[in-house]
Amino acid sequence: MKITIDTEAKTLECQSGDAAPTRLPLYSPEAFRLVSEVWLKQEWNQLHWQSFSWLGFQLWQLPEDVLRLQEVVASVRPDVIIETGVNRGGSAVFFASLCRALGRGRVISIDIHIPPEVREAVAVCPLGDLITLIEGDSAAPAVVERVRRSVGPGQTVLVFLDSDHSREHVRRELDAYGPLVTPGSYIVATDGVMQQLADTPLGQAHWRDDNPAAAARAYAAEHPEFALRRPIALYNDALAAPNLTYWPDAWLYRLHPPPN
């Protein structure tokens, strides 16, 4: 697709293949969507998302997604947040800070390898008492069973998947942790944006099909107790930009218990 922006005329012209070009008002919702899609790919490829932190811990996420995630946690008020993918501890500390502010909840964070310095930094931080770190394959039966045993009867559970982003691994995580998610809560399969980044300089061609969003769509199709449902913004949802996210088709909302 070819996009031409004329800031003086305040127009945006887009053309796909041999089709006739379409001219839009530059400040229209349609033009905003097109510019946002290009910006998102540029932003990711420039590694801008690696420049953020939370309370001193690296947090490699798009700020738009983090704010929306905060709204969901504040609405669901989970007793347990299960996270796969520790990295440098930023998201675990982010979740724990919300739990402390809400006066409710704790975090279980899992990764195949947790560097000693990350484990120590999390342990000594003011929120460390709310975080349990587990080292191991997040989809391994022994790890899943350990997490399952740590969830008490009647506790509300939210799950956040941000480890190995291959379609196969994410599907294993969905199968493992989906049953723990309580009605009215979510399991979030992050970084489906990979399907849109396959043609960027830092992307990989196989991402078009091998990505978390593909796993989430397949899981939802096979599990009627879940629906792919983007969280509604608490304020002015009509002004939200659903395409400005790293997490398309990520939000699997638990509707009811699975059928017998």
pLDDT digits (tens, 9 = 90+) for 205-221: 999 999 999 999 999 99
pLDDT (tens digit per residue) in 95-154 = 999 999 999 999 999 999 999 999 999 999 999 999 999 999 999 999 999 999 999 999
pLDDT of residue 18: 80
Q: Give a yes or no: residue 259 inside a domain.
A: no
- Using alpha carbons, select from 233, 238, 247, 246 the residue that is nearest to residue 29: 238
Same domain, yes or no: 8 and 70: no
Q: What average pLDDT does range 215-244 have in this prediction?
A: 95
Q: Choose the weakest-confidence range: 17-31, 118-132, 161-175, 206-220.
A: 17-31
Helix segments in 178-241, DSSP class H: 212-222
Which residue intervals of the chain are DSSP H helices? 29-45, 63-76, 90-102, 116-124, 141-150, 167-177, 212-222
Please tell me the total count of domains within the chain: 2
pLDDT at residue 257 in the model: 75
Residue 24 in any domain: the answer is yes
Query: Angle CA(23)–CA(27)–CA(30) in degrees, nearest 5?
Result: 60
Tell whether 29 is covered by a domain.
yes
For 35-52, how does the pLDDT look when each residue is reduced to its tens digit (9 = 90+)? 999 999 999 999 999 999
Can you give the pLDDT at residue 25? 97
Are 81 and 62 members of one domain? yes
Shared domain check, 99 and 177: yes
Give the domain CATH number at 121.
Answer: 3.40.50.150
> pLDDT tier at 260 (50, 70, 90 boundaries)?
low
Q: Are residues 71 and 181 in the same domain?
A: yes
For residues 81 and 117, state if they share a domain.
yes
Question: Quick check: is 74 in a domain?
Answer: yes
Q: Are 96 and 161 in contact (CB under 8 A)?
A: no
pLDDT of residue 48: 95
Token pair belonging to 36 = 């946002």
Confidence category of residue 165, pLDDT binned at 50, 70, 90: very high
Tell me: do 114 and 30 sit in the same domain: no
Domain boundary among 27, 46, 65: 46
CA distance linking residue 85 with residue 114, whole number of Å: 9
Q: Are residues 33 and 109 in the same domain?
A: no
Is residue 60 one of the residues assigned to a domain? yes
pLDDT band of 259, cuts 50, 70, 90: low
Q: Any idea which residue has 């947040």 for tokens?
A: 81
Q: What is the pLDDT of residue 117?
A: 97
Residues 11 and 80 in one domain: no
| pLDDT at 258 (0 to 100) | 64
What domain range includes position 190? 51-254
Q: In this structure, are 65 and 157 located in the same domain?
A: yes
Average pLDDT over all residues of the chain: 96
DSSP percent split of the chain into helix, strand, coil, nearest 5: 40, 20, 40
Which is nearest to 182 in space by CA: 163, 165, 202, 158? Answer: 158
pLDDT at 16: 86
Q: What is the CA radius of gyration of the chain?
A: 20
Q: Give residue 211's pLDDT.
A: 98
Is there a single domain that holds both residue 27 and residue 110? no
Q: Are residues 39 and 26 in the same domain?
A: yes
Are 224 and 122 within one domain? yes
HSE, CB side, 13 Å, CA atoms: give it for residue 158.
25
